[in-house]
Amino acid sequence: MVIGLCLSHKVADASAICTFIHCWATTALQSSTDSDQVILLPEFGASSLFPPLDFSNSSQPPAKEAVKEKCTTGRKLGWKSCGIFHIIVPKPTRVEAASALIWKCKIEASARSSSNMLGTSLIRPSVFSHTVNIRKKTVPPLPENLVGNLVDYSTTNYSHSGENTTVIDLKGLVAKIRGGLEETKERYAAEVVFDSNEAGQKMKCYKNQIKKDDIDKYYCSSWCRFPFYEADFGWGKPSWVSSVAIAMNNATALMDTRDGNGIEAWVTLSQENMALFESNKELLAYASLNPRVTN
């Protein structure tokens, strides 16, 4: 038995999807059993706090066209135990460690790619954008069942300085990602005030940055710690939950394994860069490529 779900990111993020699945599953469970589980109904008041912006004149191409143009291919990575991340760097979160390792290996793949205009093995500058669920970052926190696309972006830049232009410091990438996430958290710690003009200017600056051909752009979204595996439609909890497709090049989606001890990553790259990425010895030392789904 497989259940599929497709929602537009224009109206719902991972947290909103999780709320929808919880309501759906609980309703189905109550109709088939004597379950008294409480349904956490969605709230739709996000627009009162965050007035929507008008992106109707946006020049961004449709995701499907962007993927087709770049001949994007995807792979799944798996870590059975998050304890292995402590071998990579001391005291990381699993999202920080997995994101940094994947970012590092993507940078190295780009450096070895034939499209690298800087020359073989020279590291290209890159920007790494991490989505952040702002519900728990605000003071006071927003309801977890508040529906909407309530995410911000933690953007981290990487470029080489100094003589060594072929070696990347993994610990340094972890520190950059952690610093970016902390900075995003601090922005919402003082007050919940959404400035549409400020948000619009921030979006324009970000779009101008990612348009540059001499900078590689990478994106990451973490679905870790969302209770997707708690959804019971009446025949038990799921054996496997996953995002089946990422309509974007250079993207990564992180998710818990069923037992909560591991982590999975869906990764997209161009076909050439993917071949280089999945042969990276450091990556394969820690992660399994296309691991099997097991109960």
Look at residue 152 and tell me if it is in a domain. Answer: yes
Look at residue 278 and tell me if it is in a domain. Answer: yes
Look at residue 192 and tell me if it is in a domain. Answer: yes
What pLDDT, in 10s, does the model give residues 182-194?
Answer: 998 888 776 556 6
Has 13 been annotated as catalytic?
no
Query: In a 3-state reduction of DSSP, which class is residue 253?
Result: strand
| Catalytic hit among 22, 130, 160, 232 | 232
Count: domains in the chain? 1
Look at residue 155 and tell me if it is in a domain. Answer: yes
58-72, 130-144, 254-268, 272-286: least confidently modelled range? 58-72
The residue length of the chain stands at: 295
Name the residue range of residue 226's domain: 14-52+63-289
Is 258:227 a contact under the CB 8 Å cutoff? no
Is 265:252 a contact under the CB 8 Å cutoff? yes
Q: Which residue has the higher pLDDT, 34 or 71?
A: 34
Burial 179-217 (b: 16+ CB within 10 A, else e): ebbeebbeebeeeeeeeeeeeeeeeeeeeeeeeeeeebb
**pTM metric for this prediction:** 0.86
Look at residue 295 and tell me if it is in a domain. Answer: no
What pLDDT, in 10s, does the model give residues 18-35?
Answer: 999 999 999 999 887 776
Has 232 been annotated as catalytic?
yes
Q: With CA atoms as reference, report the closest residue to 160 among 124, 135, 133, 191.
A: 124
CATH number at residue 76: 3.30.559.10
Look at residue 8 and tell me if it is in a domain. Answer: no
| Catalytic hit among 9, 86, 169, 213 | 9
Look at residue 7 and tell me if it is in a domain. Answer: no
Look at residue 229 and tell me if it is in a domain. Answer: yes
